[in-house]
Amino acid sequence: MATVLRNSGIPFIDQVSWGSHLCAFYETPHDLLETVAGYFAAGFAMNEMCVWAMPDEVHSDRAESRLRDMIPHFDEHVGRGRLRFVTAADRYMVEGRFDADAFDAFWVALLDQALARGHDGMRISGEALWLAKQPRADAPTSERCVERLLAGRPMIVLSTYHLAASRAADLLDAVRAHHPVVARRDGDWQPVDASNMPRNGLAVRDLGAAITRMQSQIQGSDQLTDRERKVFALLINGASSKEVARDLGISPRTVDFHRGNIIEKLGARNTADAIRRVLSRRRGLH
């Protein structure tokens, strides 16, 4: 497959090649629509079929109406079969579990249709958390599923993450797994530099050191106690309250008490927002 750069349509990402797996965080429904609109408009301009595996909270009729206002010549693109809305969740499931082979078969069939209609390839946007949370026995992780799908095919995938709905571990995993990464927060685009994030995780002592280095830049973090910093470091690493309790020799109720103090002192909405503030200071997101 020839290496031809494609316009991503997303600020701070610009040109990408086939097989790219992009990541965008978003804060509001309008942020999501603006992100997908720019991404698809670029695909239309390059003769690609665009497919949106929409989040459950987004209705296809409403999304189509909003995209029509955002994308030039939208009806012409739809008329030429360049846009598909799919709710593919049930097509990935076999006996109530996510099936990686069914996932591959579904998207490869759509790609074959796109190529048969004369498109150069296909770009997909989908909500990453749905796939990450599905029960599976021995299937590969969601990221490996997407990477396997992309290998050697004229496809680009944009995984989107709703900041408010994401757990701390989800955000951390997303930043580790993707490059490049951007965020759109209440209308503003922000790049996320993930190049220095180890893909095999961070030791708790490293996270604690990172928090210490960044605390002077985050309002309220100077009020965290040593125990709260240790709890916070474990939470950033994706540990549950029970796991934090076990590692620190305290009760889960005490962990939740510290968690509440951390959120309050940092002025965050929830644990994920608190951790995003720390990670953003490290990578210029905030």
Q: Which CATH number fits domain 6-192: 3.40.50.300, 3.40.190.10, 3.40.190.290, 3.30.420.40?
A: 3.40.50.300
What residue ranges do the domains of the chain occupy? 6-192, 204-283
**Cα–Cα dist 111/182, whole Å:** 26
Same fold? 6-192, 204-283: no
Q: Which CATH number fits domain 204-283: 1.20.1440.60, 3.10.450.50, 1.10.10.10, 1.10.1660.10?
A: 1.10.10.10
For 209, the enclosing helix (H) or strand (E) is helix 204-214
**Three-class secondary structure assignment of 93-149:** EECCEECHHHHHHHHHHHHHHHHHCCCCEEEEEEEHHHHHCCCCCCCCCHHHHHHHH
Q: pTM of the entire structure?
A: 0.67
Which amino acid is it at 115?
Answer: L
User: From the CB of residue 28, how many other CB atoms can be counted at a distance below 10 Å?
Assistant: 15
* pLDDT tens track, the chain, 286 positions: 556 789 999 988 878 999 998 988 888 888 999 999 999 999 999 999 999 988 777 777 778 888 888 898 888 888 888 898 887 565 676 776 777 888 888 899 999 999 999 999 999 998 876 655 555 434 446 667 888 899 999 999 998 888 777 666 566 666 666 667 788 877 888 776 555 444 444 444 444 454 455 444 455 566 788 888 888 877 776 677 887 888 788 888 898 899 898 888 888 888 777 777 666 554 443 4
